[in-house]
């Protein structure tokens, strides 16, 4: 029987290294992230994300669900819904959206599949 090595990974907003996140269209410095367990090949895993004041994502569709917990600040979805600190959100597979954070925010994000950029005409209000 093989030996399994176990380890513990701890990520904190105040002591983790954040790098620019270009996957969702953030311009340099407006969206940064710290990879916790995200695997780009599968589009699955979690990461810490910081959106600077005024940052917005490009319109995109997730093949798998997207879940995020707003830790600080507010996030406005394109359909006018506002997510505030303390909100845990699950967007079902196939959901298309784009988000904006006028005052900046901190999120814990988990993706359950790949995403693709879509045109603005593909956006529909999220029920």
The three-state (H, E, C) secondary structure of 31-46, written as one string: EEEEECCCECCCCEEE
Over residues 71-91, the mean pLDDT reads 96
Over residues 13-39, the mean pLDDT reads 82
The pLDDT of residue 23 is 63
Question: pTM here?
Answer: 0.85
Strands (E) across the chain are located at: 19-20, 31-35, 44-51, 55-56, 60-62, 66-77, 82-84, 88-91, 96-97, 99-101, 105-112, 115-117
The pLDDT of residue 7 is 86
Other beta carbons within 10 angstroms of residue 45's beta carbon come to 15
Q: Which residue has the higher pLDDT, 103 or 23?
A: 103
Q: How far apart are CA 94 and CA 19, in angstroms?
A: 27
Residue 41: alpha-carbon gap to chain centroid: 16
């Amino acid at each position: 029987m093989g030996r399994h090595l176990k380890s513990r990974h701890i990520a904190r907003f105040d002591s983790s290294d954040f790098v620019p996140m270009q996957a969702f269209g953030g311009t340099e410095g407006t969206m940064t992230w710290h990879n916790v367990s995200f695997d780009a090949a599968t589009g699955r895993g979690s990461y810490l994300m910081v959106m600077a004041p005024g940052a917005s994502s490009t319109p995109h569709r997730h093949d798998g669900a997207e879940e995020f917990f707003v830790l600080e600040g507010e996030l406005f979805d394109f359909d006018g819904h506002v997510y505030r600190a303390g909100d845990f959100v699950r967007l079902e597979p196939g959901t298309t959206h784009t988000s904006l954070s006028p005052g900046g925010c901190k999120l814990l994000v988990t993706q359950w599949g790949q995403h693709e950029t879509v045109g603005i005409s593909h956006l529909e209000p999220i029920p």
